[in-house]
Structure 1
């Protein structure tokens, strides 16, 4: 009879999971359920976008009210990304995900049945809280569920995002055919609540707590139990073996410890993931503002044709999101981000130089190039690099901080870039925006860290003597650079 592997701490859990070649069985179910939250986040954001026009007409919204509604969710994500990371560090990965679904259900229903702007806005506040908490925690959980050989699969969240936005557009077309009139926005927002409710039940029934997090808290018996439930790995807890006791429980990490992410070997990792996340958030709004123009020009000004046009562009995002896993595996997350930023920069420059002058086929192909390069590279990689760069005790905090930075990009895009467009015109706005991917590309080339190109797991690195989660050092040595 084969000897059962012993688990003394987080490193043993990580080694057992990394020994697998792929995600199979119960692990695949839990993996996709965690991804389901990311689908919901994208769907809830797209639900507002799809119904914003009819909502504006029905409620007679001002431009300021529209801006507030559009920016509420990403603004709340700035605050609740790190809060979600803190919760996941303190109470586990699964409870915050379930709480986020409760907020999502409440927010969707409140907005769908509202009769005035204030109530809709309160509903979007709840959705923003859910979005901020869920995204930070889900990426950390997915990273801890995934064997190192399959780490590129984390990039599939980008394809999931575009699938969600496309799915919402398909439903919007369906609601339109049902002749619901200007109430179409209520059906769109309400459908997000239905998806959130279904996910809440499924995640409550099937999600299993991260074995790595349990081990980091010294709960080795619970950790091996989760390991068995998810992967079928029959391990045994060995807290008394050798010096295991001193490595079993990691010190508690809270928001006040966020400075750890900017010290030692974590500094370049945090800079890289933050710049990629910020850059992709900023640059996306160039196409975000240009897509309606393209759709209306090519596909016509009716609701159906404009919606179908948006679906075409989102389909390109799905292709790019699926390709991001392959690109990350072949080139690494860092270089695939650099190439993606480079392609986006070229697309923006050409869009700026040819806007209003190029044939329709060129005007169509340039945004396609933008979306493809964006979704196959930096669009996915910022969050994936963050999820893979930190040890278990600070992983959720790291993904939370990176998500917060990315949300800053969204808010800046929503408020600043429209003003630039009004002042300079759309063509010159594209040229100004080209600086963003250029800086992103240069950062990716300057910072050499890539979690997919190292043999060691962050959990194998020894903690710093002054606290957890400072890799590349030992009690007798200064932090590695």
Structure 2
């Protein structure tokens, strides 16, 4: 396979790449002229940080709406006398929506631009969250949750493409780490909101409708974000691209030396051509192995906490919020380790430790409480690095003209597994118990570990032109 894809020299090369990251004053490597910097060499300004913040809002909403349904279902199931299959359908419907939205949204984002989609999807999420507050039937809830998922899924390739294309290379891992941290923050806030509303009559309506509040703030912030200059350049709109560069970076930054205008049009065919197909398969399976256990834990968090003896009712919800904090805290150092340690070694080590935590939970589900907490903590804390890389890798490994499409496809592949797992988790737990359920989750993480050992690339310290080349 091409050298830009399969690392040679393993972790030693990763260490060299990390060394290049720390040297922020290196000579221009992308062919900039006249002493000007390229986008990859530009300084990280307050406006660029604001772009990262409002772009991360979609991930916050994903973590929020996905996790809150687990708490809301404890009320909905009792109030509507739902069967296990209806409970699973409501939980899995948002994931089916994410599958559709990530693929279609990624394709449209590469065709019509990042900016338009960036605003429209937030408006749609607020609309369907408002509809969820009505006296909905189980089928209506499935439909509303599906469309929330569609627009949450569409936001993945939109927002992460914008962050990647605006952020200088030395800050890319940290900026994408903010996306992952925002997901866990959303999940943590959801657990706390659920804890406060779980004893309120019809509290589930307030839970599902509360997503409108962050949508309003995000809509205000996103209206100020310009179109990606790299996307504009890829469409031959260089004059508009230069105006955006001048506005965002200043007069000492140039588009020269960045990715050249594509020789082919954006589309699914281009993504699967040449060496890109192998990258899509790797990223799709890796993301599937990483998110399936996590989504199952978040969607049915209170039930899983109860199965491990970590409380019933509000106590179980509180236990889920503590677990969510482990996920959040683990993503913070991982932002910096991705540069200092390198993408590949951090991924492999993290997946190994995550698997250890899940194996302990699977083999010893009745272990003393401190053991259960430590095993959950081990799994959740070291999910930080892989959690960031599920956003960072696909954005680094594909060129501008197909970046959003590729991100959407990778996420779409992974969501096939999450739909099956989320629908099947309560059914599997009822039939076989919590121990075997955790062992299945461990098996998936181990599969991701083996795949990463053979296929994970090292992209630290490289420009987008280098990481996306074949």
Q: TM-score range by the shorter chain?
A: 0.7 to 0.9
State whether residues 99 and 150 of structure 2, in contact with CA within 8 Å, keep that contact through their aligned partners in structure 1.
no
1:20-40 C-alpha deviation (Å, 9 max, x unpaired): 24x222111122111112212
Q: What secondary structure is seen at the aligned counterpart in 1 of 2:382? A: helix
Q: Mark the structure with the bigger radius of gyration.
A: 1
Gapped runs of 5+ residues in structure 1?
1-9, 462-468, 473-481
Which of residues 239, 253, 271 is equivalent to 2:266?
A: 253
- Can you list the C-alpha shifts for 1:378-404, whole angstroms capped at 9, x where unaligned? 222122101111111111111111111
Match of 1:343 in 2: 353
The residue number in structure 1 matching 2:312 is 301
Length, aligned pairs only: 437
Aligned to 1:180: 200
The alignment status of 1:208 with 2:226, answered yes or no, reads yes
Supply the distance in 2 between the matched residues of 1:236 and 1:349 (Cα, whole angstroms): 51
Secondary structure at the aligned position of 1:113 is classed as: coil
C-alpha contact (below 8 Å) 1:75/1:411 kept by paired residues: yes
Deviations 1:56-110 (A, max 9, x none): 2222222222111111111121122111111111111111121111210111011
Superposed displacement of residue 189, structure 1: 1.1
Q: Flag the structure with more relative contact order, 1 or 2, with Cα contacts below 8 A and sequence separation at least 6.
A: 2
Preserved contact between residue 287 and residue 367 of structure 1 (Cα < 8 Å): no
Q: Which of 187-196 and 167-176 deviates more? A: 167-176
Distance 2:242 2:424 in 1: 50
Please state how far the C-alpha of 1:456 moved relative to its aligned partner.
Answer: 4.4
Does the residue aligned with 2:136 lie in a helix, a strand or coil? coil
Q: C-alpha deviations, 1:246-292, integer Å up to 9, x for none?
A: 954654212343323xx22x344333322221111223256455764
Query: Over aligned residues, Cα RMSD in angstroms?
Result: 2.8
Q: 2:190 aligns with which of 149, 161, 168?
A: 168
Residues 363-420 of structure 1: per-residue CA shift (max 9 Å, x gap): 221111111122x232221221011111111111111111112212211211344444
Correspondence 1:276 to 2:312: no
Match of 2:216 among 167, 180, 197: 197
Q: How do 1:464-475 and structure 2 match up within 5 A?
A: 471-472=469-470
Cα drift, residue 115 of structure 1: 3.3
In the alignment, structure 1 residue 394 sits paired with structure 2 residue 402: yes
Which SS does the other structure have where 1:434 is aligned? Answer: helix
Q: Give ranges in structure 2 of 5+ residues lacking alignment.
A: 1-29
In 2, Cα distance between equivalents of 1:318 and 1:145: 24
Q: Matches of residues 51-66 of structure 1 in structure 2 within 5 Å?
A: 51-66=72-87
Which is further off, 104-113 or 52-61? Answer: 52-61
Q: Which moved more, 1:207-216 or 1:423-432?
A: 423-432
User: Residue deviations 1:124-159, cap 9 Å, x none?
Assistant: 122011111111211111111111111211123222
| Structure-1 separation of matches of 2:446 and 2:304 | 25
What SS does structure 2 have at the residue aligned with 1:452? coil
Deviations 1:302-343 (CA, angstroms, capped at 9, x unpaired)? 42x222211111111111111221221222222212111111
Shift of 1:225: 1.1
Aligned to 2:393: 385
- 1:228 corresponds in structure 2 to 246
Residue of structure 1 in register with 2:380 after alignment? 371
What's the offset of the Cα at 1:47?
2.7
